[in-house]
Structure 1
Amino acid sequence: MEPIFALVLVVTGVAAGFASGMLGVGGGFIMVPVQIWVLTSLGVEPTMAIRISFGTALAVALPTAVNGAFGHHRRGAVVPRASLFLGVAGFAGAFFGGAVAAVAPGEVLRVAFGLVVIAAAVRMATAPDPRSGGGDEVEGGGRLDGDDVVDGADGGYGGGGGGALSRSDGVYLLLGLPIGFISGLVGIGGGLMMVPVLAMAMGFGIHRAVGTSTAAIILTSSGGVLSYVYHGLAVPGLPPFSLGYVNLLQAALLAGTSIPMAWAGVRAAHRLPADRLRGVFSLVMVYIGLEMMGAFEIFRLLIR
């Protein structure tokens, strides 16, 4: 690999790690477009490049999420039972999503990626921010005091907090399956969908949604990684250092900076006001979604 490509991946890892810690989204929406550009520039067939980018992004999201989740947990922003059930269901869904991605056309995967990113951004930007109350901001590293972190007979998830859906184990499982499927299909950790669902439908405050999503991504990403490795093992023409549809060299370059930067993102998340956090989340996602769908290329053609 040429040094310039390695440098680009290292810098991308910085941005992805910061986004993972700050937004609870795994950073895949930043890594995937850059990886596709690097791989196609190196002569990899475009559809294969997309699949490798998805699988590698999930592989990087896994240790990055572990690091970020630990930071959020120390600040009391992780709801353990919710993250566990979302993650378990997401694991199964992501494995199946990766299997579908292994046979889907490349352009379909690009459009699906863009649509998922934009839909999640619009939902987060336009929906009201229902607070679950009780110290949700976690300012200065303090712990949450709301019902989500109080252990009890029902684990503290008895449907309170003003969300549209009950906070029950069954609901978390039902939500985790489709979120995991989309995660595996488009190579993202699941936070792009999980954060809006937790914040809007479940009544979590934004910081609690980010922390819980980051923890759930650990399991969701694991299911996707296993699927991309398994379904790519017998594929000919993979670039060097590939294990199935996961490129170990790219993963190492990205993870080398994304993992430590996740800590910086966690600290930023607990210092920024919730509305500013939502704004950053939404704007970056819309831009990247449009870019992946080719919207800017169409615009450039129209103005010529």
Structure 2
Amino acid sequence: MEMTPTDPLYLGVLIFTGAFAGIISGLLGIGGGFIMSPVQYWLLQETGMDPDLALRAALGTSLFVILINAIIVTHKYHKKQAVLWKPALIMGVSGLISSFGGAAVASYLPASTLSTIFGVVIILGALKTYTTSAVKEKEKIRTNPVFYIFGGILIGFFSGLLGIGGGVVGIPVMLILLHFDMRKAVGTSAAIMLFTSFGGSVGYIINGWGQAGLPPYSLGYINLLNWILLVVPGLLAARTGAEIGHLVNPEYLKHFFVLLMVYVGLEMIGVI
């Protein structure tokens, strides 16, 4: 028997997922798309939706949720002076443009290919993050804007392609390539998500406009019903996550981030 969007299980799973993603967003400066997208992908398929359409709707809707969460989280980290605005603006603008392109590419790829790319990118990012120190004591943050532009393009493209805010790519980029410490990487990542999630959301709306087979209340590949169920609890939880993030040891924060990424990556590849 197929599930419907009005089933208590459907509603409950999305509400819980939104709250959990909000906490993770505030805690780690990532959008939580790598949590919301797999859950929505599963739920939409349970309603009888075509897998390719289900994954695109899941990715697009997640990005639109991330846009709202990013506003709250960025404000919190800005007040804690953990956002480096010059790098954030350079990476954000270049990421906005490339995230639109990533969303366009995603509109033509089958679900199996997208989910495999999703999983591989997340696992690689986790492994590189694990081998990088969360606290930079000797290395100076790079100041060459070329590195920021390159990092922004990389973050933005995968953000649009995979329906993520970019944090799971951005934090490893900032730790490894740009020599940020973990707290600055988390705060700046949240600011970059304002740009990448906006560009990606617009891309999913345009590329999904008029697409047959999408559920009711869809704006292109963004499903507004799912969006409301995810964004409201996410907004309430994101503030709490940001507060917790400033109380936790940066190395513990990094390890939690890595474990979460590896689990979701393996899930999307189909290993577990």
Q: Please, what TM-score do these two structures have when normalized by structure 2?
A: 0.95
- The residue that corresponds to 1:115 in the other structure is 120
Report how far residue 132 of structure 1 moved: 5.3
Q: How many angstroms apart in 2 are the aligned matches of 1:54 and 1:116?
A: 15
Q: How many angstroms apart in 1 are the aligned matches of 2:19 and 2:263?
A: 18
- Is the CA contact (8 Å cut-off) linking 1:69 and 1:214 kept in structure 2? yes
* Contiguous gaps of at least 5 residues in structure 2: none
- The residue that corresponds to 2:146 in the other structure is 170
- The residue that corresponds to 1:140 in the other structure is none
SS in 2 for 1:229: helix
Report how far residue 44 of structure 1 moved: 0.7
Q: How many angstroms apart in 1 are the aligned matches of 2:206 and 2:8?
A: 30
- The residue that corresponds to 1:209 in the other structure is 185
What residue identity is the alignment partner of 2:240? Answer: A
Within 5 Å, give how 1:163-242 maps onto structure 2.
166-242=142-218
Say whether 1:43 aligns with 2:48.
yes
Q: 1:95/1:132 Cα in 2 relative to 1: closer, same or farther (>3 Å)?
A: farther
SS in 2 for 1:37: helix
SS in 2 for 1:172: helix
Return the index of the structure with the highest Cα Rg: 1
Deviations 1:223-271 (A, max 9, x none): 0000000000021111111110000000110000111211111111100
- The residue that corresponds to 2:230 in the other structure is 254
- Is the CA contact (8 Å cut-off) linking 1:68 and 1:263 kept in structure 2? yes
- The residue that corresponds to 1:146 in the other structure is none
**Number of equivalenced pairs:** 267
Within 5 Å, give how 1:10-29 maps onto structure 2.
10-29=15-34
Q: 1:218/1:5 Cα in 2 relative to 1: closer, same or farther (>3 Å)?
A: same
- The residue that corresponds to 1:157 in the other structure is none
Task: Percent identity, please.
Answer: 40
- The residue that corresponds to 2:101 in the other structure is 96
What residue identity is the alignment partner of 1:20? Answer: S
Deviations 1:23-46 (A, max 9, x none): 111000110111011100111111
SS in 1 for 2:210: coil
Q: How many angstroms apart in 2 are the aligned matches of 1:132 and 1:258?
A: 34
Report how far residue 130 of structure 1 moved: 5.0
- The residue that corresponds to 2:271 in the other structure is 295
* Contiguous gaps of at least 5 residues in structure 1: 134-160, 297-304
Report how far residue 171 of structure 1 moved: 1.9
Q: How many angstroms apart in 2 are the aligned matches of 1:278 and 1:128?
A: 9
Q: How many angstroms apart in 2 are the aligned matches of 1:220 and 1:99?
A: 14
The partner residue of 2:89 within 84, 104, 107 is 84
Q: How many angstroms apart in 1 are the aligned matches of 2:113 and 2:81?
A: 40
Q: How many angstroms apart in 1 are the aligned matches of 2:133 and 2:237?
A: 30
